[in-house]
């Protein structure tokens, strides 16, 4: 590892910084930023303050099932503004959140069992297993698009999946995807 770093410094090669915000799974080429320390966590902190990273220093951000844990009045706009600030021009933020429109539509289905409704409730409000596992906002494509635009992102598009990590972005309820997956472009 040290030899690789020395080669990169000597050759002047720009090593892309790719942040996995809220992650736990180690993947080559990615640094993990999480609010809770862990075995694979490189940086501990809140995603509303990415002050340790310079403007335009990050090539890619990946945040799966993180943003719904932020209040929509202050913390969500602040986090997205930080994502935008640290991304290089042309950088992307890959974002996955529980799809609140899907959750609402499915929750009222009279054919669901009580256990299925409980699962949907957890998608909406978090598992509530620790102080960080509460959801403060329900995001739809419409709402998330507005927040991304407000943070300065040039455009955003929905995607089916990312296939980068084993996480909730691919979560399904029955045969339907329960996550809203979006790529936002700086």
Confidence tier at 79 by pLDDT (50, 70, 90): very high
In Å, how far are 20, 23, 147 from 33, measured between CA atoms? 6, 7, 22
If one compares 129 and 11, the residue with the highest pLDDT of the two is 129
Which tokens sit at 157?
């598009």
What per-residue confidence (pLDDT) applies to 13?
A: 57
Instruction: Assess contact for 164 and 63: CB atoms under 8 A.
Output: no
Q: Is pLDDT of 10 > 50?
A: no
- Angle, CA 133 vertex, CA 63 and CA 71 arms, to 5°: 70
What per-residue confidence (pLDDT) applies to 59?
A: 98
pTM for the structure as a whole: 0.90
What per-residue confidence (pLDDT) applies to 102?
A: 97
Lowest-confidence range among 4-8, 44-48, 59-63, 148-152? 4-8
Q: What is the rounded distance in angstroms from the CA atom of residue 129 to the CA atom of residue 146? A: 30
Q: Is pLDDT of 106 > 90?
A: yes
What per-residue confidence (pLDDT) applies to 36?
A: 95
Strands (E), the chain: 18-21, 31-34, 43-44, 58-64, 87-98, 155-159, 172-173, 176-177, 179-185
Cβ-in-10-Å burial (0-12, 13-18, 19+) of 5 comes to exposed
Over residues 126-149, mean pLDDT: 96
Tell me: the pLDDT tens digits for 14-47? 689 999 999 999 999 999 999 999 999 999 999 9
What per-residue confidence (pLDDT) applies to 1?
A: 47
Q: Hey, what domains does the chain have and what are their CATH numbers?
A: 16-185 (3.40.50.150)
Over residues 127-148, mean pLDDT: 96
């Amino acid at each position: 590892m040290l030899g690789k770093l020395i080669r990169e410094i000597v050759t002047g090669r720009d090593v892309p910084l790719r942040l996995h915000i809220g992650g736990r799974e180690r993947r080559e080429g990615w640094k993990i930023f999480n609010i809770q320390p862990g075995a694979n966590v490189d940086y501990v902190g809140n995603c509303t303050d990415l002050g340790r990273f310079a403007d335009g220093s990050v090539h890619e951000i990946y945040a799966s099932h993180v943003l719904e844990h932020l209040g929509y009045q202050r913390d969500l706009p602040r986090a997205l503004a930080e994502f935008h600030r640290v991304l290089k021009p042309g950088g992307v933020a890959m974002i996955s959140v529980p799809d609140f429109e899907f959750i609402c539509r499915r929750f009222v289905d009279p054919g669901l069992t009580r256990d299925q409704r409980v699962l949907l409730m957890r998608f909406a409000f978090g598992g509530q297993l620790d102080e960080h596992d509460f959801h403060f906002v329900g995001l739809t494509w419409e709402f998330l698009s507005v927040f991304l635009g407000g943070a300065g992102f040039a455009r955003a598009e929905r995607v089916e999946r990312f296939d980068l990590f084993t996480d909730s972005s691919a979560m399904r309820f029955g045969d339907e995807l329960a996550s809203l997956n979006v790529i936002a472009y700086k």
